[in-house]
Each structure stands twice: as C-alpha cells, then as structure tokens.
C-alpha cells in the first residue's frame, strides 16, 4: 500500500512551510492493528506494537536526507526493530510516524507484503522511512 498523508499532516506541512509553527522531530512506530491508513486518521487510529524488545525510534531533523528534483524526496536511514525474547506471535501490519512532542500523526504505511510476524528472539522488522512529493 502507498504511504498515506493524513489531513492533519497536510495542514502541518503548510503551517511549517509558512513559518506559522515550528517543526518537531519525529518518532517511528510499528502498528499491530489490522488498519488500512486513511486521510482522516490520527495517531490513536493505530495500536502500537508491544512485542518484547520493541522500542519506538526517534528521528531527528538530521536523520533525514532531502533530495531535490522532480519529485523531491526525503529519506532516513534504515531502522531496525528487534525482538529480544521468544513470545506469543504478534502480527505487525505497518509503520507510522508521529511528531515527537505533539504526537500528531505525520504519515502511515501498511506493508504491501505483510503482516510480518514477530515471535522469536532475534526476529526483526526493518523500515527505511521515505517521503516523496510529486
């Protein structure tokens, strides 16, 4: 599935672009709810993963590389979520990014080949956050 930019994030992009509000760092999270991202979503639409060893990942402004062009794209380095113990299987359907302070949902993406199952010590999910403006 394609990345979904919710309506609230569209507003925030314009607020940042026109210097009406200060930008914030982001937090990358996995979701375990069987959710299809939509434009009306908020962060609470998603149920965050909670397998053993799971920790949301902070992304600072310096984490992102912006590549101008047609289209312009932003990408962060690949991030890895790892299980640290054997456990009951947990399905992970996708990822979402929120602002670190406000918690506002920035964007979400459901895995096209998921869900991925986390059950064993050492199981991993790797995400390369990317955003392209067409």
Please report the DSSP string for 93-116 in residue order.
Answer: -EEEEEETTT--EEEEEE-TT--E
Assess whether pLDDT exceeds 90 at residue 1: no
Model confidence at 5, pLDDT cuts 50, 70, 90, reads confident
* pLDDT tens digits for range 26-78: 999 999 999 999 999 999 999 999 999 999 999 999 999 999 998 999 999 99
Take residue 40 and report the two structure tokens written for it: 């009306």
Task: Map tokens 């930008």 to a residue.
Answer: 23
First-to-final CA distance of the chain: 17
Can you give the pTM of this predicted structure?
A: 0.93
Task: Map tokens 């994030």 to a residue.
Answer: 9
């Amino acid at each position: 599935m394609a990345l979904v930019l919710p309506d609230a994030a569209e507003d925030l992009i314009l607020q940042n672009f026109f210097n009406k509000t200060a930008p914030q760092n982001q937090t990358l999270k996995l979701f375990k709810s069987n959710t299809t991202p939509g434009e009306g979503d908020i962060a609470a639409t998603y149920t965050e993963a909670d397998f053993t060893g799971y920790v949301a990942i902070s992304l600072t402004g310096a984490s992102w590389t912006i590549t101008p062009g047609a289209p312009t794209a932003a990408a962060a380095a690949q991030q890895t979520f790892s299980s640290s113990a054997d456990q009951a299987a947990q399905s992970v359907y996708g990822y979402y990014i929120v602002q670190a302070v406000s918690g506002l949902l920035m964007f979400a993406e459901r895995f096209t080949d998921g869900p991925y199952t986390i059950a064993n010590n050492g199981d991993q999910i790797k995400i390369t956050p990317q955003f392209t403006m067409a």
